[in-house]
Amino acid sequence: MRLLTTIGFINVVQKPGDAELTVRARVAAYLERLRERHLPTLSATAANAGTDYPFQARVTRRAFRGALATPAGDINYANFKHEVTKVSGM
């Protein structure tokens, strides 16, 4: 699953044999923001953990499912690109 949110682009998969989900990003700050704002049970970020997505963390399916509703409730902007700029400070 790919999530494009104002806090960053995040990719979520379940690797074969794993009970938990792997949450991946190309920028470590995206996982940090996700953990701070929506998913406090997200594990610590592992750096250089993959090729396409060098930053990875893990979470239970149940916790991730519950966290999906939070970003949807945060939608309060008229222009997504402008909000990304505002949130990221760029």
pLDDT in tens, 28-46: 999 999 999 899 999 999 9
Residue 90, pLDDT > 70, answer no
3-class DSSP assignment, residue 3: strand
What pLDDT sits at residue 11?
96
Strands annotated E in 1-90: 2-5, 8-13, 21-25, 46-47, 55-59
| Position 53 confidence tier, pLDDT thresholds 50, 70, 90 | very high
Residue 49, pLDDT > 90, answer no
Residue 16, pLDDT > 90, answer yes
